Amino acid sequence: MDTVTQAVFGAVIGQVGFQSKLGWRALAAGAALATVPDLDVIGSLSDPLNEWRHHRGVTHSVFFGPVVGPLFGIAIWKMYQWRAARSPGKLPEILSNAHALSAWIWLSVLAFLTHPFLDVLTPYGTQLLAPFSDERFAVNAMSIIDPVYTGLLALALLCGWLVRRGTFGKPGWSPHIAGAAIVMSVGWQIYAWGINEETKIAARKTLADQGIKTVEISSYPTLFQPWFRRVNAETDDAVRVGFYSPLTNTPITWTIYPKEDSALISEFSRTMEYRVLERFAMGEIGWRIEALADGHTRVEAHDLRYIGVPGPQLSAMWGITGTFNADNELIAPPVRFSNRPEPSADIFSVMWVGAFGE
């Protein structure tokens, strides 16, 4: 999920379990630690394909927190011991005494663990078992940006700050407020996942009523809310793309993209660049082939998880493309392309109407 949500959740972890032991610095450390796994994006600077190879890789593994977290916890504890020695009496003893070591270690481990378990809720995919496996896992429950989810956690931090100041309630309420927010946030995740499953059931029924047998149905969240879902239905000869919301009575209208049948696809699939995309896209690949005026042929492999607003031609947010000559030979290695749409009022309007109706 987005960096703000990761940081807020890390701060709530500090609030619920460590504020009483470490003070407000537990919240600040939790927020910072929860964003550390995303530093793996630095590895993508040298090669556009490295984002697909390495982002949400080993730093997003379930093993990263238990293995690396204690090292961070010890480092934080040592840092506060060093500061306490340099400036006696200026820092609370609870930050550097013997009892603080286990608190810093557990805070680091848990803050790191929150990151992959949030990211796996999104369609992007997360390598939970790295470095032992590069298989990607995705629940497709939530968008990378969900204001309701983030807002629940941020509200817990605000309320915790107010009770610590004595504005209302008792200071001891702060961890309980954070715990309640975590429980409600998990409920929101389950609710979003349920909408995803409901979408697939509705899509399957719609297609069955039309006499269409599908090979596979996948549902994906769109931005900012859990209701308006894009659904892909793959048959032997086509990929159908539609939208669904449980809050409206609007039937699913399908845009149909016939599957391409070309020997060039087989040739293209042998390239290293395609294998990187296929692994990253978890096998959700659509093809687009275009004859060029100079006699060459452009072949594009699209990540079907990220199709934008359906149009006359298949178009995903990203994929790879290569050009073949008249002898069916690749002119150059395939390269990554990006079709990210620019944010606009029209996009937000379409999502609002799609989710809630006119």
Neighbours of 186 (CB within 10 A): 10
In tens, the pLDDT along 278-332 reads 999 999 999 999 999 999 999 999 999 999 878 889 999 999 999 999 999 999 9
pLDDT at 301: 97
pLDDT tens-digit series, residues 71-112 = 999 999 999 999 999 988 888 899 999 999 999 999 999 999
pLDDT value of residue 343? 62
User: What global pTM score does this model have?
Assistant: 0.91
Closest CA to 304 of 236, 231, 223: 231
Task: Return the structure tokens found at 70.
Answer: 């204690």
Confidence of residue 167 (pLDDT cuts 50, 70, 90): low
Mean pLDDT of the residues in the chain = 92
- Residues 15-69 pLDDT 10s: 999 998 999 999 999 999 999 999 998 877 778 899 999 899 999 999 999 999 9
Look at the chain and count its residues: 358
Query: What ranges in the chain are assigned the alpha helix state H?
Result: 3-17, 19-22, 25-35, 50-54, 64-86, 98-119, 147-165, 174-209, 263-268, 272-280, 345-356
